[in-house]
Amino acid sequence: MTKRNQAVGAYGERCAVRHLIGAGLRPVARNWRCREGEIDVIAWDGPVLAFCEVKTRRSDTYGSPAEAIVPAKARRLRGLAVRWLAETGTTADEVRFDVLSVRLPPAGPARVEHLKGAF
């Protein structure tokens, strides 16, 4: 991954977190990593714990950001969520998996679409 792509991704994650906070969610972890992968954002939405994958795109040349979540990626994220819950001792009556699609137009502000319960 190039430094430019890393910067675009980091900016997209910051936009996504601002969006989540504005929507009333309470982030508890960002960029949690283990050997198997990474969870971008974990946030409480009232009593629901949301594991959020953030996808940022400058164009739709390679499809929409949400289309990047293929079944294998969804399975990996579910496994990472189980591991995070076990390692942190966190309990939640309900968990969900969200996708935040961040589009960066050539001019103007980023556009964030929040798909709750995306997979």
What 3 state SS string does 28-59 have? EEEEEEECCEEEEEEEEECCEEEEEEEEEECC
DSSP assignment, residue 106? S
pLDDT value at position 6? Answer: 87
CB 49 within 8 A of CB 42: yes
Distances in whole angstroms, Cα of residue 56 to Cα of each of 22, 30, 38: 19, 16, 16
Domain total of the chain: 1
CA-based nearest residue to 100, from 68, 70, 76: 68
Tokens of 23: 């929507």
The per-residue pLDDT for range 23-34, each reduced to its tens digit, is: 999 999 999 999
* Model pTM score: 0.92
CB 103 within 8 A of CB 57: yes
The per-residue pLDDT for range 1-17, each reduced to its tens digit, is: 688 888 889 999 999 99
Domain holding 50: CATH number?
3.40.1350.10
The per-residue pLDDT for range 41-60, each reduced to its tens digit, is: 999 999 999 999 999 998 88
Which structural domain, as residue segments, surrounds residue 21? 3-115
The per-residue pLDDT for range 55-65, each reduced to its tens digit, is: 999 888 888 88
